[in-house]
Chains A and B, each alone.
Chain A
Amino acid sequence: MANGSSRPLSPHLQVYRFQWTMALSITHRITGVGLVLGTLLLTWWLVAAAAGPEAFAKAQKFIGSGMGLLLLFGWTWALFYHLGNGIRHLVWDAGYALDLKNAELGAYIVAGASLGLTILAWIVGLAVW
């Protein structure tokens, strides 16, 4: 074997045929890291509220700016995606839906639900803003 021992090698991504479930898997990781970056804004928001009216107004102004809205939109989707796919993970951990058909069905549900919930949240959000 290529690694010089009789240990099994893990499959190489480069020679793997693309499957949608792969894309969902890596997206879970990307959204997870993205959400961690988003906690910086959450912390700024809460600390600013504790610091006083001026600091809070500054944070709210940034959130309401073009850049702030874009980030918030991205994080809304990332959160719904990671939430949905996280539930998919928990279902697998419980021992269900591990076959190919259900893995793919779950992928469609998560992708669709994350988009739907993001749009719904923004319609409601912009209506009450």
Chain B
Amino acid sequence: MTTHSAKNLRSPLSEARGLGSSKYGTEHWWHQRLTAIALVPLTIWFVIAVISHLGADHAQFTAWLKGSPLSAILLILTAGVTFHHAQGGMQVVIEDYVHVEWQKLAGIIAVKFLCYALAAACIFAVLKISFGA
């Protein structure tokens, strides 16, 4: 049992929570790793897919996504996981550099909203093409 002395800087409640100076647990860290692992194969596929469609005209490009549901699914996964990883990563960057509470919150909210909006736009675009617009 630890005694609560002047050298021990944590309150008994903070010690019981076991979260250090954090306001929450390991979820954020875990999500950043989970998305990072998923992004390794996804981005390698994405780079190859982009290279093989460089300079494609509209008909060729849309034919690709219409003809290959697997490519459409991988593209949706790439976009979704990328934006999830991006909003989590940007949150950490903002938390590290912005120290006025309202500005920090405003920044995090703005970045997250932007990421979710861009993710929705990307996914909708791929679906629209592959379902034959």
Interface flags for A1-42 (1: CB within 8 Å of B; 0: not) read: 000011100000000000000000000010011011001101
Interface of B is mostly: helix
Which one of B33, B44, B52, B90 lies within 8 Å of A33 (CB-CB)?
B90
Range for the number of chain B residues in contact with chain A: 35 or more
**A107 touches B (CB below 8 Å):** no
Are A49 and B129 also in contact (CB < 8 A) when A7-B9, A36-B86 are?
yes
Q: Are B54 and A57 in contact (CB under 8 A)?
A: no
Q: Are B36 and A57 in contact (CB under 8 A)?
A: no
Closest 9 A-B residue pairs measured CB to CB? Answer: A50-B125, A53-B58, A46-B125, A56-B58, A50-B128, A129-B54, A36-B86, A47-B125, A43-B118
Extra contacts, 20 of them, besides A35-B86, A90-B33 (Cβ < 8 A), are: A5-B9, A6-B9, A29-B93, A32-B86, A32-B90, A36-B89, A39-B82, A42-B122, A46-B121, A46-B122, A49-B129, A50-B126, A53-B57, A56-B58, A60-B55, A60-B57, A64-B55, A76-B47, A79-B47, A90-B36
Instruction: Report which B residues bind A (CB closer than 8 A).
Output: 6-7, 9, 33, 36-37, 39-40, 43-44, 47, 51-52, 54-59, 61-62, 65, 75, 79, 82-83, 86, 89-90, 93, 115, 118, 121-122, 124-126, 128-129, 133
